Structure 1
Amino acid sequence: MKMKLLDLRQAVLLLACSVSTRAVESVVDIGYSKYRGRVVGDGTTQWLGMRFAAPPVGNLRFAAPQDPIATTGILDASKFGPICYASDPTDWTNKPSKRFTISEDCLYLNVFAPSDATTGSKLPVMFFIQGGGFNSNSNNNFNGSDIVREGNITVVSINYRVGPYGFLQSQEVLEDASLNNGVRDMIKALKWVGENIKHFGGNPKQVIINGDSAGAAAIAILLTSPATRTSDLFVGSIAESTPENNFRTLERGQKQYSCLLQAAGCTNSTSSLACLRSLNVTALQTTTCSFGPGEDTDISPNSSFAAFEAGEYLHVPTIWGSTADEGTKSAPESIDTAVQANALLSKSAPFSNNSLELLDQLYIYKNETVFPNAGRKWRNAANYVGDAQFHCPTRVYQNILLKDGVPTWNYHYKVEDPEQEAEGIGAYHTVELNAVWGPNNTDGNPPKSYYTTNAPVVPLVRSYWTSFVKHLDPNKERLEGAPVWKQWDEERARIRFRTNDTAMEAMSQSQNNKCEILDPLVRALDKALPDGELIELHL
């Protein structure tokens, strides 16, 4: 009898364990809705286009993200949801595409997980924030299945509002709506992960945020924001090709608000915000106004650099890095003369005459390769853009982290594609996404060599990324034979990614010296300068 009673207790215990760690099914109940995902057949399951916030339309246009309304029945999660409208009507995402649709109702996220995951698997989570200059969802609908299968992690990707829909800034918005809603969307999605990722086999206590371009700039905000700095929403970050945030004051934001009123025909309205909310979504698109993160007591009371300098940031392990030729797709290829190059420099920042002369000596008067169908000074200008907007800002962040004793790693992505090299574009801004996600899983237009000669770099880079997601250390599960990736240190140690030649190196003394000279510019651009103030650079 005792034996039978013991057997019964064991059976009950086994049943309890199987219930608490049951396999994740394609239909997942997240409380307010049930979603049926798609079993891909490659060992992964995808749940696409799940709503994480209410549609930001009507009176919720320009408002902070709200909770989704509960639904009945089972919703289809086999296709991506619409992405958010870009601010510019000529943006490439406005063109018809088989990959995505666009809508103001765009606050959707996607989850990729191993098909054999259970609710007790507690798999680490890579939370991806796409780029687009805060004015476009430029890296939408990437396929995370390869990362999931090879790394045994979960991947979450999100949309967030951009342009005027996500970053409208004025006294009217402050009083009757909400500032920095694009960042608030990211935080809302992170909270969703904290509450729901366990249903997909993920671990809410091991979330690593990963972003590129504007998504990387957003990481700097999330690391310093009062809304996230004291939370447990994430435990590490990977920032790829991080540009400056250039926070606007409310006064500067007011000018862009007036610009939008003029473009949308709401200048004479008794309630300008109500007028903007009443218009068709496309009426807010404009080629003349620009938008981005601004000062906000809840989200960004200080610029990113100032917050880092004050130690007011989340002290977690990080990876930062940039591509070798960050500026080639930002500087116009038509730049042919020093006069045209100086016009670009002056547009980028209000330099004194002495500073422009110094920049000419550092960049514009140097002998650079001239490429077919491009101006003679294009690469000179591109080198300046790469340093001023990407390489040197990243150096500022990591030097502060080094001083504070926070683990941080740097990469220099120099994978060379023959066609891109011949055109002079080189290892361009965010091209490393093709190595992290795989060339079949990004925007459909990867360099061709990623299928041939540069194919080996994909598993190499991905192994460092997934190792960091799992262990907060890129080395523990790096590809066999791959070099140890040393942390950023006083010698400016970084890993250079180049096919069949990946190795540790140091930021060159020449580039470091340029960053020293550009430091006043880099720090000034983190926050919009007062009108009339000039930037002074010195040797």
Structure 2
Amino acid sequence: MVHLSLLLLVSAAAKSALAVSPYVDLGYSQYLGTAQSNGITSWWGMRFAAPPLGNLRFRSPQEPVYNETLQIANTHGLLCLATGGSPTDPTTSEDCLFADVYAPSNATAESKLPVFIWIQGGGFNANSNGNYRGDGMILASGMNMVVVTFNYRVSLYGFLASQEVVANGNTNVGLLDQRFLMQWVQKYIAAFGGDPGHVTIGGCSAGGASITFQLTAYGGRDDGLFHAAAAESASVFTILTVEQSQYQYDALVARVGCNTTADTLACLREVNATTLQANNYNIPYPGLGPNASAPLFMYDAVIDGDFVQDFSQRQFAEGNFVKVPAIYGDDTNGGTDFAPQSTANYSQMDQFLIDNYPTMTPDQITAFNYMYPEDMEFFNGTGAFWRTASNAYGELAYLCPGMFVSTAYATYSTLGSWNYRYNVEDPTQMAEGYGVPHTVETAAIWGPQYVSSTPPASYWPNGTNAGIVPVMQGYWTSFIRSYSPNTYRAPGSAVWQEWVPTTQNRIMVMTNATAMETVDINEQARCAYITANSVYWEQ
């Protein structure tokens, strides 16, 4: 039973028309958020879809179930189950489709504030950026935006594909979860002070890849769910067809003992999540030989002829994407988190590349060996070719595809295309050899105290890189508010010029030295080769 004082609080809040009430009635549920002392109200752990359990496993998200009990929205929802995750991890669950909303407490239902939807990363195999807090961005915007974060299904729960799943389920359900959340925003965000007609989607790593897939969804069909996009360190992995993904399904079915049943998918739906998690691990692509290792991220979006109709790079090349203002960019050393630190020679580097891009030909491997000479940077306990392999993977999987998307936007759209290279050097990361690693810019965009991961020490107040936080927040909140990173950028910060394909000019973000730069001619040549061959290695 809800305490009487709480009921009185809810009643008073509901009657107030002066500000967004901590109490919101979404029809299917009522939620009571928290009015914080910093002038921001937050709602944590709101269901935006039905629990994807039982017969809803491997199916598209469904409308949330009606609940007449007032929900106290002060606890984050559990994260979705991850590849390799412990079966007993108390922070994760298959019942994970929850959203958080942050809004200025003085907003009203008529405020129509710009909305930012954040899609977290994790290689489509984990929710790696869960529970980021929107406080920092809202404060940086002058209380002029609403922030939405959420979980979506990943790993086998979000991206299992096979002929059986097509026949009696749905493919790419993790992407469908994202789409469903966007539809939820269209229905309900006004109750939090947001404008459903002014929505920017953003994300990092696989969240950035999600931006790519949402932009090209259904062949680039514009359903009016978003109006601008900002992709940070967007990944582009090998994209398989449903038929090519069958080996993943068959292996899983065998591991959990469903291969002897007549209806293997029905059997998989009956297996409890603990058993699935105990058998949830990556395996190598078939046909790569005895030296092959599992790819970094086996479960990924698949070409299903519906949501994903072709390779991402080809869809952008042909103009089959939603035309909105767009930011893409990457970090200087985006591959150091992924290449094996023990990599000691070209043979080991080549195997790492083939393990992750299995259709690479011998001639293409030879070209990579030529394009990426031995780095000659050594760090304690690392192989001589760690940084070499990192350079190759970082440009192949992240940097070059992002530049190509910026080119596609500049070519097919007049709404604005911006690209960046994030080059903020943290002393510890530099000393350890990571350079400026994958997705480190998120700590500056959100503010170091508002991310769930451990940000570099130099980003905190009084740190050597503390000054980059207002610069990045200025660009991002300006883009969210006005569809341009320049309108409300931080005072004194550089004008971020649009990307021009012929000159390849991007902003280079660096503490006390942020400025426009032209992409190095050698990098341009490497990216031209990668772009020309991207379809051959199924990007």
TM-score, normalised on structure 1? 0.90
Instruction: Name the residue aligned to 2:534.
Output: 522
Q: Which amino acid aligns with 1:170?
A: S
Of residues 23, 27, 33, the one that matches 2:29 is 33
Instruction: Name the residue aligned to 1:15.
Output: none
Instruction: Check conservation: 1:318, 1:409, Cα contact below 8 A.
Output: yes
Instruction: Check conservation: 2:374, 2:385, Cα contact below 8 A.
Output: no
Distance apart, 1:314 and its partner CA: 0.7
Q: Can you list the C-alpha shifts for 1:63-116, whole angstroms capped at 9, x where unaligned?
A: 1100011111310101101110002236xxx7857xxx2111100000000111
Of residues 360, 373, 380, the one that matches 2:369 is 360
Q: Which amino acid aligns with 1:479?
A: A
Instruction: Name the residue aligned to 2:483.
Output: 472
**Larger Cα Rg: Structure 1 or Structure 2?**
1
Whole-angstrom CA distance in 1 between matches of 2:166 and 2:364: 37
Whole-angstrom CA distance in 1 between matches of 2:237 and 2:201: 17
SS at match of 1:252: coil
Instruction: Name the residue aligned to 2:380.
Output: 372
Q: How does 1:52-71 map to 2 (within 5 A)?
A: 52-71=48-67
Instruction: Name the residue aligned to 2:303.
Output: 295
Instruction: Check conservation: 1:245, 1:304, Cα contact below 8 A.
Output: no
**Range with greater deviation from structure 2 (207-216 or 513-522):** 513-522
Instruction: Check conservation: 1:335, 1:375, Cα contact below 8 A.
Output: yes
Distance apart, 1:177 and its partner CA: 0.9
For the aligned residue pairs, the C-alpha RMSD in angstroms reads 1.8
**Range with greater deviation from structure 2 (306-315 or 42-51):** 306-315
Distance apart, 1:245 and its partner CA: 4.5
Instruction: Name the residue aligned to 1:498.
Output: 510
Instruction: Name the residue aligned to 2:473.
Output: 462
In percent, how many aligned pairs have the same letter? 39
Residues 1:181 and 2:173 are matched in the alignment: yes
Q: How does 1:178-257 map to 2 (within 5 A)?
A: 178-226=170-218, 229-257=221-249
Residues 1:327 and 2:335 are matched in the alignment: yes
Instruction: Name the residue aligned to 2:428.
Output: 419
Residues 1:270 and 2:282 are matched in the alignment: no
Q: Can you list the C-alpha shifts for 1:361-416, whole angstroms capped at 9, x where unaligned?
A: 221x3342111121111001100011111111112212222222441100100000
Instruction: Check conservation: 1:21, 1:120, Cα contact below 8 A.
Output: no
Residues 1:172 and 2:183 are matched in the alignment: no
Distance apart, 1:495 and its partner CA: 0.6
Whole-angstrom CA distance in 2 between matches of 1:238 and 1:108: 22
Q: Can you list the C-alpha shifts for 1:445-464, whole angstroms capped at 9, x where unaligned?
A: 11111111111111110110
Structure 1 residues 187 and 375: CA distance shift in structure 2, 3 A: same
**Range with greater deviation from structure 2 (324-333 or 20-29):** 20-29
Q: Which amino acid aligns with 2:128?
A: S
Q: Which amino acid aligns with 1:83?
A: L
SS at match of 1:251: coil
Whole-angstrom CA distance in 1 between matches of 2:54 and 2:393: 40
Instruction: Check conservation: 2:32, 2:72, Cα contact below 8 A.
Output: yes
Instruction: Check conservation: 2:324, 2:413, Cα contact below 8 A.
Output: no
Instruction: Check conservation: 1:486, 1:494, Cα contact below 8 A.
Output: yes
Residues 1:318 and 2:326 are matched in the alignment: yes
- Aligned pair count? 503
Structure 1 residues 484 and 141: CA distance shift in structure 2, 3 A: same
Distance apart, 1:356 and its partner CA: 2.5
Q: Which amino acid aligns with 1:447?
A: P
Structure 1 residues 418 and 526: CA distance shift in structure 2, 3 A: same
SS at match of 2:408: helix
Instruction: Check conservation: 1:107, 1:159, Cα contact below 8 A.
Output: yes
Instruction: Name the residue aligned to 2:19.
Output: 23
Instruction: Name the residue aligned to 2:455.
Output: 446
TM-score, normalised on structure 2? 0.90
Structure 1 residues 272 and 280: CA distance shift in structure 2, 3 A: same
Residues 1:161 and 2:153 are matched in the alignment: yes
SS at match of 2:511: coil
Structure 1 residues 311 and 198: CA distance shift in structure 2, 3 A: same
Of residues 93, 98, 119, the one that matches 1:129 is 119
Whole-angstrom CA distance in 1 between matches of 2:513 and 2:370: 32
* Gap regions ≥5 residues in structure 2: 1-13, 284-297
SS at match of 2:80: coil
Whole-angstrom CA distance in 1 between matches of 2:256 and 2:467: 50
Whole-angstrom CA distance in 1 between matches of 2:73 and 2:422: 35
Instruction: Name the residue aligned to 1:5.
Output: none
Structure 1 residues 141 and 227: CA distance shift in structure 2, 3 A: farther
Distance apart, 1:517 and its partner CA: 2.1
Whole-angstrom CA distance in 2 between matches of 1:374 and 1:257: 36
**Range with greater deviation from structure 2 (344-353 or 75-84):** 344-353
Instruction: Check conservation: 1:54, 1:67, Cα contact below 8 A.
Output: yes
SS at match of 1:41: coil
Structure 1 residues 412 and 362: CA distance shift in structure 2, 3 A: same
Instruction: Name the residue aligned to 1:43.
Output: 39
Instruction: Check conservation: 2:129, 2:453, Cα contact below 8 A.
Output: no
Q: Which amino acid aligns with 2:420?
A: Y
Whole-angstrom CA distance in 2 between matches of 1:162 and 1:46: 25
Distance apart, 1:21 and its partner CA: 5.9
SS at match of 2:183: helix
Q: Can you list the C-alpha shifts for 1:490-534, whole angstroms capped at 9, x where unaligned?
A: 21111111111111111111100111222243233345xxxxxxx
Distance apart, 1:228 and its partner CA: 7.2
SS at match of 1:124: strand
Distance apart, 1:20 and its partner CA: 11
Structure 1 residues 448 and 38: CA distance shift in structure 2, 3 A: same
Distance apart, 1:284 and its partner CA: 2.1
Structure 1 residues 444 and 170: CA distance shift in structure 2, 3 A: closer
Residues 1:102 and 2:97 are matched in the alignment: no
SS at match of 2:352: helix
Residues 1:435 and 2:441 are matched in the alignment: no
Instruction: Name the residue aligned to 2:294.
Output: none
Whole-angstrom CA distance in 2 between matches of 1:157 and 1:355: 40
Structure 1 residues 522 and 207: CA distance shift in structure 2, 3 A: same
Q: How does 1:272-287 map to 2 (within 5 A)?
A: 272-285=264-277, 286-287=280-281
Q: Can you list the C-alpha shifts for 1:151-175, whole angstroms capped at 9, x where unaligned?
A: 1210000100011111111111111
Whole-angstrom CA distance in 1 between matches of 2:306 and 2:68: 35
Whole-angstrom CA distance in 2 between matches of 1:187 and 1:62: 16
Distance apart, 1:146 and its partner CA: 1.4
Whole-angstrom CA distance in 2 between matches of 1:162 and 1:384: 26
> Which one has the bigger helix percentage?
1
Q: How does 1:336-415 map to 2 (within 5 A)?
A: 336-349=344-357, 350-363=359-372, 365-406=373-414, 407-415=416-424
